Amino acid sequence: MTEPPHLASAGEKQNRTGTGRPHLAVVGAGPAGLAGALAAAARGIRVTLVDAAGQAGGQFYRQPAPALGARRPQALHHQWRTWVRLRDGLDRHRTSGRITHRTDHHVWCVERDCASGRFRVHALLGPAQEEGGTVDADAVLLATGGYERVLPFPGWTLPGVVTAGGAQAMLKGGLVLPGRTAVVAGTGPLLLPVATGLAAAGARVAALVESAGPAALLRRAPALAAQPGKLAEGAGYAARLLRHGVPALVRHTVVAAHGTDRLEAVTVAALDRTGQIRPGGTRRVPCDTLAVGHGMLPHTDLAETLGCTLSGPAVRVDGEQRTDVPGVWAAGEATGVGGAALALAEGHIAGRSVAARLHGTVPDPGRWAAAARTRDRLRKFAAALDAVYAPPAGWAAGVTDDTVVCRCEEVTAGEVRVAAGPLGAGDLRTVKLLTRAGMGWCQGRMCAPAVAGLTGCPLTPGRRPFARPVPLGVLAALPDADGTGPDRNGPD
């Protein structure tokens, strides 16, 4: 069992005075966070594992709610034995008191006290997210994962259109199908397990639509061949799709979704070798669900707030998974999207490094040499996949001017194009000011990649002070800069 959300305990207050074992706060309980927490706890570090979900596992190891009574949850997963090892390790360390697992904690900010070098993790508690809580620690491991890149097309806002990861989450976490007849489309290795999972659960997958072509895979063959296990995994998914009779349309893309009250069909177009739509190569596929994905982007909001340097879209780390902010480590998709196995290796390295440094010793990289070799190989493999599974070059040309791009503020592609054309906006911030694209609830997290693609502006990170919307009451309850004011931690 995991602990219910609650405010910081008296034991945490004692640790803030400098007594007790060194304390690590791990943000995120997916593969990277679990591996880091277990490695640090095994070496004498007191760990608080903070996660927004009700159970550990992240998206990759998402589990059905216990109330659903799933008889064979392993049927929805591969690498189940790895998950069992992580789960059992977490249970052992929780029982021994080495790890405290705080569920339903939605972290919105991490503060660093420059004088002491310690950290305060701010979170909203529970499903309502109307109450605040904190965790204080000597170091922080950011294992915040990634989120899906969403690219618009005509009809993409219809009910029945979901992201590929969203369809997978419904199946893994809720044991429900998003529809009876599905099309899985976009690009990237995530499409294979999503299509396979839907078909195995009883949906008719009318088509798997992949914009990449075989030639792109062949060009990266040496790098891909260096991970035969990954290739065998992909081949296994392909074999299962064949058994389910799922047609695969490679070098194709969805250009429109159709329906009145909900999705009824999609139009699929063939692509030429440059990624442009081939004239006359369209077909209409009836379906009630479209699961569409174009890859993942790292979650870096908390790292940016702390002042961590980014390398491209990801948090920059050294060989120990340290950021350039003292006391802050990062692992998993936040440092570059590469899958669960890479996240596990990075998390293990980070946890061991944290343990050594909080104990005041110089880390010995030889003690995690095997994990480092795995990390390096998988990073090369991920880079090759990124090159293969890029969104089609001509996707923006197919977005009509009346297509909504920013759903929060109902900004259309035409408005975005006017801002970048006649109005002369040269960056995403100016487009945002002119159109309100990115000013809504998600603060541009969903629409920024689309706006960048439509305007040609670079996809630069936005230095947001908070990682999620925060009720004013929670902000008002924060202590003043001199330490006076409301105490969120309650009495000792």
Return the structure tokens found at 122: 């701010």
Q: Compute and round to an integer the Cα radius of gyration of the chain.
A: 23
| Cβ count near 322 (within 10 Å) | 22
Alpha carbon of 267 to those of 72, 250, 394, 416: distances in Å?
A: 36, 15, 16, 24
Low-confidence ranges of the chain (pLDDT < 50): 1-19, 481, 487-492
pLDDT in tens, 134-181: 999 999 999 999 999 999 999 999 999 999 999 999 998 888 999 999
Alpha carbons 353 and 367: distance in angstroms, whole number: 10
- For residue 462, the model assigns a pLDDT of 67
- For residue 2, the model assigns a pLDDT of 43
- For residue 129, the model assigns a pLDDT of 87
- For residue 394, the model assigns a pLDDT of 87
How does strand 105-112 pair with strand 328-330? Answer: unpaired
* Phi, psi angles (nearest 5°) of residue 487: -100, 110
Sheet holding 105-112: strands in order across?
105-112, 119-125, 131-137
Q: Any idea which residue has 């260096």 for tokens?
A: 226
Burial 295-313 (b: 16+ CB within 10 A, else e): bbbbbbbbbbbbebebeeb
- Is residue 98 classed as helix, strand or coil in its secondary structure? coil
Q: What is the DSSP letter of 93?
A: H
Which amino acid is residue 268, in one-letter code? V
Alpha carbons 290 and 263: distance in angstroms, whole number: 8
pLDDT in tens, 371-394: 999 999 999 999 999 999 999 988
- For residue 1, the model assigns a pLDDT of 39
- For residue 475, the model assigns a pLDDT of 92
Distance, first Cα to last Cα, the chain: 25
Alpha carbons 67 and 483: distance in angstroms, whole number: 43
Alpha carbons 112 and 124: distance in angstroms, whole number: 18
The residues with which 120 forms a beta bridge, in sequence order, are 111, 136
